[in-house]
Amino acid sequence: MLLVSIVLSLIWLAVLVRAILRPHRQPASRVAWVLVIVLLPGLGVIVYFLLGETNIGRKRVARFRSVIGTLPPSIPVSDQGDSRLTPAVPEQCAHLFKVGESVNGFKPFGGNSAYLTENSNAAIDTLVADMDAAQDHIHLVFYIWLQDNNGLKVVAALKRAAARGVTCRAMADALGSRDMIRSGSWKEMQQAGVHVAVALPIGNLLLRPLLGRIDLRNHRKIVVIDDWITYCGSQNCADPEFRVKPKYAPWVDAVMRFEGPIARQNQYVFVSDWMIAVDEDLGDYLKLPFRDGLGGFPAQVIATGPTVRNSAMPEVFESLMYAARNQLLITTPYFVPNESMMAALCAAANRGVDTTIVFPARNDSWIVAAASRSYYRDLLSAGVKIREFHGGLLHTKSLTIDDDITLIGSANMDRRSFDLNFENNILFQDKALTTSMRERQEQYLASCTAVGLADVEEWSIGHRFLNNLLGMLGPVL
């Protein structure tokens, strides 16, 4: 018995030391994990073992490095002298694209056009029309792909495209799209000639924790058609009614359809994801010369995840916040920021920037919702305007600054998007398209109620205690 106690104590001590010495961790996260391990010795060790580290598995990391090492540059050799691809961007946003370039090595590509689709159903209908017009290939990856009206529309479009000789590759996350992957629709796509792949397969639930965390997911939503059309936004391949969580419906998303060289950067991200999961070399797609007729705005893909530095996504968000001079408007469903992001948001409001952040009034994660509200007092005290949306679950992840620059994509402002999920966003500078995004954000605001300091003061002690407790545990959520 004494020997068992000594062994358990040594294991506890080793985990505690590991939590303290673990590199690439914010001090708040380190403190939170130490408290969990000290206050809940047995349970804390188990929880740390399961969730304490961003461990995607050595084999996956090695596979990722091998794949990235074999891929050609994002600009083909034949086009590297084309100044239209790498245009001079306005001085006020050049440093923002530099931050984005530091993540994936993607320079901002010029010559792009885009528009914001009207709503979730319109986004799928537009996508299906593009798929029906595809001539060479369709590549797509979704975190959640449901067997509902919109999900099956995409299945049918892939089968039609494959039948007429278009090469189709479809990837879905093993956890988020588990029902689709197990369904007859998945098998029918394969039988129709669609190449399918599963992102981050889970395998044996008992062995998975030994090989890497189960909750590291591919949260991306990417479609690339004929290397020229691409989509980016918050929407999964599903109806807005989102029948797996219907009581929060409708899911309110924003999706942009892009044409131009920016599709190559999304292609690069898709190709790397595919080659990590499937033993198939798709590098030739990255060697194709770009089409003629370039003309349009600069844009840049920013793809983050456990295989790039964990500070990448927060750095992008914070750089945009510090760059704002007149207006900063953010929509996000999940908000559990780190200290530097909170400082950037408050600094924007303190220097006179009209700073607004919009959350859903009802969130499908009550834990994240409560943790988010623990930050309300500090935000409001700095002058940040907080609005809560009542027209469904606002799922749009968007950030606009000064009616000129927009970031749109899949990344939330929480630790999961920062540290665990593979995310995909597009940063662009264009007044007309940013105006479209601002108009959409204004539509959201029309369905919002304002939250003020007086409202926060009226919360009960129990309410504030729960919010602050979960806010403290934000680094381990």
Catalytically active residues are 219, 221, 226, 395, 397, 402
d(CA 395, CA 249): 10
Length of the chain: 477
- Closest C-alpha to 165, from 147, 192, 188, 186: 192
Q: Which residues contact 317 (CB under 8 A, 6 or more apart)?
A: 341, 344, 399, 407, 413
Residue with tokens 């992840």: 397
- Closest C-alpha to 9, from 49, 45, 60, 61: 45
Could you give the C-alpha distances from 164 to 157, 194, 378, in angstroms and in order?
11, 11, 57
Contact (CB, 8 A) for 253 and 179? no
- Closest C-alpha to 296, from 87, 127, 99: 87
- Closest C-alpha to 333, from 371, 374, 363, 378: 363
φ and ψ of 110, to 5 deg:
-90, 180
- Closest C-alpha to 291, from 108, 80, 111, 72: 111
d(CA 424, CA 49): 28
